């Protein structure tokens, strides 16, 4: 009898542990959603620097969410849909509201229309990812990931929380919002975040890279985050142009006509 009770207790603990493991990624998603809401509230209070920080925290939580779900084998259809809905808020609506309050409001109707286009581009980017089940090459994303696009807006606001201080500031702010939105819905390939890091043979060097990145952000957070965000934004178009130039002339001419049956590779990201 004692053995039977011990087995039942063990099964109960196992089920409780499995339930906790499956809930853990969704807890990070709730954190991402909270950061998006907090960004909107901070933007409404004209605390633009704090609002930008919330987008950065949401990006970290979104990365941890996906990694933990895959490592723990806790990925589920519910978790994927919940994550996409949270991303629309945290990386679509929140950055658009922040950009409008920070720099687009002076443009009037044009400003909020551009903000709406950014939200729409984010939703389309996430919807396209959700219907692309096959990921033959996980080194690349098709279109700029929504967290990276939001990072461009957030890093700009974080670097200039009081605006650019020039007469053309609203036009510059419009470009800051419109270009990442265009990159999200484009077919340009962007490197996956894991493929961007150096891959030394020693794990000690991996830790050293991470420590150097943290140190650089701690010393000059606004400058380093701005450079990282815009370098990634530029990497897609630059890679696209370089790839076109490296292709043989015959392949370039052949790609102009007929039906192209080659699908661009995708990676796991929203």
pLDDT of 4 strictly over 80: no
Q: Who contacts 13 (Cβ-Cβ below 8 Å, separation ≥6)?
A: none
Q: Which fold has domain 2-247?
A: 1.20.120
Q: What is the mean pLDDT of residues 192-217?
A: 75
End-to-end CA, the chain: 52
Confidence class of residue 173 from pLDDT cuts 50, 70 and 90? very high
Distance CA 140, CA 138 (A): 5
Q: What pLDDT digit, counting tens, does each position of 235-253 carry? A: 999 999 998 888 776 655 5
Highest average pLDDT, of 38-47, 190-199, 200-209, comes from 38-47
User: 111-150: per-residue pLDDT in tens?
Assistant: 999 999 999 999 999 998 888 766 556 778 889 999 999 9
Q: Which two tokens stand for residue 213?
A: 């990145």
> Residues 180, 125: contact at Cβ < 8 Å?
no
| Span 32-70, pLDDT tens digits | 999 999 999 999 999 999 999 999 999 999 988 888 877
205 pLDDT more than 80: no
Which comes out higher in pLDDT, residue 45 or 22?
45
Mean pLDDT for the chain overall:
83
Domain ranges across the chain: 2-247
């Amino acid at each position: 009898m004692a053995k039977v009770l011990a087995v039942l207790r063990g099964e109960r603990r196992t089920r409780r542990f499995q339930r906790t493991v499956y809930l853990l990624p969704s807890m990070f998603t709730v954190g991402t959603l909270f950061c998006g809401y907090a960004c909107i509230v901070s933007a409404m209070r004209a605390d633009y620097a704090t609002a930008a920080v919330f987008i950065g925290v949401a990006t970290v939580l979104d990365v941890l969410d996906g990694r933990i779900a895959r490592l723990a084998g806790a990925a589920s259809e519910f978790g994927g849909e919940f994550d996409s809905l949270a991303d629309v808020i945290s990386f679509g609506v929140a950055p658009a509201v922040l950009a409008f309050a920070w720099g687009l409001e002076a443009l009037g109707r044009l400003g909020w229309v551009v903000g709406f286009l950014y939200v729409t581009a984010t939703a389309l980017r996430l919807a396209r990812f959700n219907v692309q089940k096959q990921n033959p090459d996980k080194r690349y994303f098709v279109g700029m990931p929504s967290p990276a696009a939001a990072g461009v807006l957030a890093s700009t606001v974080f670097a200039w929380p009081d605006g650019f201080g020039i007469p053309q500031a609203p036009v510059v702010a419009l470009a800051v919002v419109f270009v990442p939105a265009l990159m999200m819905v484009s077919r340009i390939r962007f490197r996956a975040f894991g493929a961007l890091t150096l891959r030394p043979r020693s794990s000690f060097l991996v830790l050293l890279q991470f420590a150097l990145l943290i140190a650089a952000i701690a010393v000059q957070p606004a400058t380093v985050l701005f450079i990282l965000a815009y370098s990634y934004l530029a990497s897609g178009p630059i890679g696209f142009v370089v790839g076109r130039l490296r292709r043989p002339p015959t392949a370039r001419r052949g790609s102009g006509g007929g039906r192209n049956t080659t699908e661009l590779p995708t990676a796991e990201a929203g």
